[in-house]
A and B are shown apart, each in its own frame.
Chain A
Amino acid sequence: MLPTRGLARGRLHIVTGKGGTGKTTCAAALAIALATGGHRVLIVEVEGRQGLAQLFDTPPLPYRETLLAHAPRRGEVYGLAIDPEEAMLEYLQLFYNMKRAGRALRSMGAIDFVTTIAPGLRDVLLTGKLKEAVGRKEKDRRPAYDAVVLDGPPTGRIRQFLDATKEVVGLTKMGPIHRQSQSVIDRLHRPDTLVHLVTLLEELPVQETLDAAAGLREGNFRLGAVLVNRTRPDLVPASVLVRGRPDRVRLEKELASVGLSAQMVPDLAREVTAYAQRQKMQADNLARLRPLDLSTISLPEFSPPVDMGAVYDLAELLHEELR
């Protein structure tokens, strides 16, 4: 495995992955890991599903940065759920000084319509807000956040999401929107913006990870780590198997030494065979990720429902890896 050093120096961390791979959990753990040791980190969600509030067990997040959790050794994690409509109003205010008109448009349902007709616009607003948060300075000119983590769109949509602003630049040749878009594009391509890929060691998630990585590289985005979620420990050493299966006579004998009856042997043998098969599938899928040439961080499986305790455990693991 490649060293993961240097990943912690990223300022903007974009976490993507196939649906159901545990993207939100990993993003939250990464935010806590980055905040560990007195840092201030913002975690942002854009898919409008309040996954962070559910995970952190807080009321739904408003369109305002809210303290979500403390990280070990005086770290702080803030949360923000970016709402496209609110971001649009902010944008109208910023560039056209037309907040009130914006409100009127919203009450007509026009903003919803606009973001429907030009789906890319929604992503432009979201990435624009993200860029603003990363670049924001306090009065003493220090950055407001040491790092920003995005619980991003799924792998199938990530390239489109990150490139949305590019299309807008193509449409508007000059003016404030053009300038703004250009600076968002620059922010997303800087070397301290990292895209992390969450995957499981199963066929489809790995395939999507490989496809997304290729697409992101083609788009000149910098890839961070592959977070291999829900890995199971290798419990069955190859040495106890004969052609992929346990020898039942041997199993019976060994179990007898601790007083377990022979009756269990067939069922236990089946469990061992199935587990060994899963182990092999994990190893095969891990091997498929190798050509990516990225740091790979394995995160263990937790029994659902994954609670904050598990997230802190993952964060500690990530913190160790990132150091």
Chain B
Amino acid sequence: MPKSMSTQPRAAPLLDVDALIDNPHTEVLVTCGSGGVGKTTAAAAIALRAAERGRCVVVLTIDPARRLAQSLGLDQLSNEPHEVLGIKGTGRLFAMMLDMKRTFDDVVTAHSTPERAEQIFANPFYQSLSSSFAGTQEYMAMEKLSQLRESMQTDRANAPWDLIVVDTPPSRSALDFLDAPNRLGRFLDGRMIRLISAPARAGGRAYVKVISASFSLFTRVLTKILGSELIRDVASFVSAMETMFGGFRERADQTYQLLKADDTAFLVVAAPEPDALREASFFVERLSAEEMPLGGLILNRVHEVPAPLSGRAAEAALERLEAGPDDAPLAAAALRVHVVGSDAAAADNRMARRFAAAHPSVPTARVAALPGDVHDLTGLRTVGTLLAKRPKSA
């Protein structure tokens, strides 16, 4: 880590993005954070920068903006990585977009016979589970990550990539990425799901008599609320998936454990706003509790005012200008822009300092707010440059 500067004490140590991506030991980077903070863009920008600094990178995006997806060549439907053209230098960049239903289908196909798989695919409960179930997207992102990782680690010499950058699903809480896969695994493995499918397997009535009164009450209420049709679907789904149970939870556990490996680093992305930083705080604390490797915080969309003029001085100058005899509309506009910008920058600084005070050891990289949306490689390159930029020393 670079040393802190003496003249203007920095609130947080600096996150050296280039050192992280240049280190051949870094094999997995995960960007996480709450929704709407620029996670996907950050992941793509880091992947591109790493590729143009010589790494062979695959980036797994979840739900990129249309134009960004197009610029990465992601407009065709594909659940496998393909190469992005237009990369400078010797490195390579592959990109893919997660298709959670297809990833789930692949898991099913891999773990059952073709007839069984057909049966499962046709089950209405499976269809809703694989396309809209809360947690499925997170589980499948983890699943895809472990597939990419396997293809890298089983045959290093011939592996097309040596660095995986993973974007995480958009969710309110950054913690969902860590918790949802386990929740789904537990759910599919759990006692309850076996319970409602039990009558179907044990021949209905006779079985119901044996189980305790509260359980029979449970099935009764369930049938009333959910309808017997759904219960039947779930039951037949469970019996068709029998061989895979256990596998689900085990796989989720395995991937979870892999996230603790020291070739992995989490990059928490946040905007300088209370909600986003609160989520970032939760996540940072959780990573440390789980002993998962935190790379640092990417503080995105920070307002900066380059001109060496305080907001107050600009305001005073503006007053003089308005009181004076000369018509100076350009200077007036510039000073107004500077006043507004200084206020925003001051607010962002306060937020950043508050976070740093609570988490003094978290290395932080600031990315200045861009005037426009990022939707091509040039834009991603700019973000990458901003990410790796060191603040001017005083």
- From A233, A255, A305, B331 is in contact (CB under 8 Å) with A255
The answer to whether B34 touches A19, judged by C-beta atoms less than 8 angstroms apart, is yes
Min Cβ gap B189→A in Å is: 13
- From A171, A232, A258, A305, B230 is in contact (CB under 8 Å) with A171
Indicate the size class of the contact surface on chain B.
35 or more
The answer to whether A119 touches B317, judged by C-beta atoms less than 8 angstroms apart, is no
The answer to whether A274 touches B371, judged by C-beta atoms less than 8 angstroms apart, is yes
The answer to whether B218 touches A239, judged by C-beta atoms less than 8 angstroms apart, is no
A-contacting residues, B257-300, CB 8 Å: 271-276
Question: Assuming the A-B contacts A207-B65, A271-B334, A304-B347, are A232 and B229 also in contact, with contact meaning beta carbons closer than 8 angstroms in the complex?
Answer: no
The answer to whether B334 touches A117, judged by C-beta atoms less than 8 angstroms apart, is no
A-contacting residues, B210-235, CB 8 Å: 214, 217-218, 221-222, 224-227, 229-230, 234
19 residue pairs bridging A and B, Cβ less than 8 Å apart: A18-B35, A18-B36, A20-B37, A101-B217, A110-B222, A113-B190, A116-B187, A118-B230, A119-B132, A171-B229, A232-B340, A246-B330, A257-B328, A264-B309, A268-B334, A275-B340, A277-B372, A304-B273, A306-B274
A313 at the B interface (CB under 8 A): no
B-contacting residues, A205-263, CB 8 Å: 205, 207, 232-233, 235-237, 239-240, 246-247, 250-251, 254-255, 257-260, 263
Determine the main DSSP class of B at the interface with A.
Answer: helix
In this complex, what residue of B is CB-closest to A248? Answer: B330
Known: A20-B37, A304-B273. 14 other contacts (CB 8 A): A18-B36, A20-B34, A114-B222, A114-B225, A114-B226, A117-B234, A236-B333, A246-B334, A251-B330, A251-B331, A258-B328, A267-B306, A271-B307, A281-B372
The answer to whether A303 touches B347, judged by C-beta atoms less than 8 angstroms apart, is yes
A125 to B341, alpha carbons, bound, how many Å?
Answer: 46
A281 to B170, alpha carbons, bound, how many Å?
Answer: 24
A143 to B344, alpha carbons, bound, how many Å?
Answer: 44
**Considering the complex of A and B, which 8 residue pairs feature the smallest CB-CB distances, nearest first?**
A20-B36, A19-B35, A254-B331, A267-B307, A277-B371, A254-B328, A303-B347, A267-B306
Residues of A within 8 A of B344 (CB): 303
In this complex, what residue of B is CB-closest to A264? Answer: B307
- Report B's interface with A, CB cutoff 8 A: 34-37, 65-67, 128, 132-134, 170, 172-173, 187, 190, 192-193, 214, 217-218, 221-222, 224-227, 229-230, 234, 271-276, 305-309, 317, 320-321, 324, 326, 328-334, 336-338, 340-341, 343-344, 346-347, 351, 371-373, 375
A250 to B330, alpha carbons, bound, how many Å?
Answer: 8
- From A19, A108, A272, B337 is in contact (CB under 8 Å) with A272
The answer to whether A304 touches B337, judged by C-beta atoms less than 8 angstroms apart, is no
A177 to B159, alpha carbons, bound, how many Å?
Answer: 56
Question: Assuming the A-B contacts A203-B373, A304-B351, are A19 and B172 also in contact, with contact meaning beta carbons closer than 8 angstroms in the complex?
Answer: yes
Residues of B within 8 A of A9 (CB): none
Min Cβ gap A123→B in Å is: 12
Residues of A within 8 A of B272 (CB): 304
The answer to whether B371 touches A281, judged by C-beta atoms less than 8 angstroms apart, is yes
A51 to B338, alpha carbons, bound, how many Å?
Answer: 33
Min Cβ gap A92→B in Å is: 7
Residues of A within 8 A of B307 (CB): 264, 267-268, 271
Determine the main DSSP class of A at the interface with B.
Answer: helix
A4 to B272, alpha carbons, bound, how many Å?
Answer: 33
A240 to B328, alpha carbons, bound, how many Å?
Answer: 10
A264 to B335, alpha carbons, bound, how many Å?
Answer: 11
In this complex, what residue of B is CB-closest to A153? Answer: B172
Residues of A within 8 A of B371 (CB): 273-275, 277-278, 281
A160 to B134, alpha carbons, bound, how many Å?
Answer: 13
The answer to whether A172 touches B227, judged by C-beta atoms less than 8 angstroms apart, is yes
Min Cβ gap B170→A in Å is: 7
Question: Assuming the A-B contacts A267-B308, A304-B272, are A207 and B225 also in contact, with contact meaning beta carbons closer than 8 angstroms in the complex?
Answer: no
A147 at the B interface (CB under 8 A): no
A292 at the B interface (CB under 8 A): no
Residues of A within 8 A of B351 (CB): 304-305
A269 at the B interface (CB under 8 A): yes
In this complex, what residue of B is CB-closest to A239? Answer: B329
A283 at the B interface (CB under 8 A): no
The answer to whether A203 touches B333, judged by C-beta atoms less than 8 angstroms apart, is no
Min Cβ gap B229→A in Å is: 7
A184 to B333, alpha carbons, bound, how many Å?
Answer: 53
Question: Assuming the A-B contacts A171-B230, A260-B309, are A247 and B320 also in contact, with contact meaning beta carbons closer than 8 angstroms in the complex?
Answer: no
A233 to B273, alpha carbons, bound, how many Å?
Answer: 20
